[in-house]
Amino acid sequence: MDPATGQLIDSHHPQRGVNLTGRVVVMPSARGSSSSASVLAEAVRVGTAPAAFVMSEPDLILAIGSAVAEELYGIRIPIVVLPRAGYDAIADGQQIDLEAGPFASHA
């Protein structure tokens, strides 16, 4: 993700160019390096961060980025880790409610 624009910039990703600003990003695991923490914190600072992440595997680096952003800017980016079955049940573009318990879906 480009923190300046919020756009997905991975040239090998099928959704390259999609803007992630304010969206719930659903991904099995994080890709990238230790810079993911600073990219997320910078996106929070400039207002281009996703609203939340839903993953099937926890990621320490992304969690650090979320914690740093909350400490520095007072903005929390939730990271929800679901069991694989719950993760696999999410369809692209589906609305989900992160506040309605472990996982609630809206058709």
The predicted-structure confidence for 29-76, as pLDDT tens digits, reads as follows 887 778 899 999 999 999 999 999 999 999 999 999 999 999 999 999
Asked whether residue 102 is assigned to any structural domain, the reply reads: no
33 is catalytic: yes
Is 18 within the bounds of a domain?
yes
Q: Please identify which of the residues 33, 34, 56, 105 carries the catalytic annotation.
A: 33
Within a domain: residue 98? no
- Mean pLDDT lowest among 5-9, 16-20, 27-31, 52-56: 27-31
Percentage of the chain beyond pLDDT 70 is: 91
* 27 inside domain: yes
Supply the pLDDT for residue 95: 80
Helix or strand run (H / E) with residue 81: strand 79-81
For residue 69, being part of any structural domain is answered with yes
Q: What is the CATH number of the domain that holds 40?
A: 3.50.30.10
Question: 42: domain range?
Answer: 1-89
HEC string of the chain equals: CCCCCCECCCCCCCCCCCECCCCEEECCCCCCCCHHHHHHHHHHHHCCCCCEEEECCCCHHHHHHHHHHHHHHCCCCCEEECCHHHHHCCCCCCEEECCCCCCEEEC
Please tell me the total count of domains within the chain.
1
Q: Is residue 94 part of a domain?
A: no
- Determine, yes or no, domain membership for 34: yes
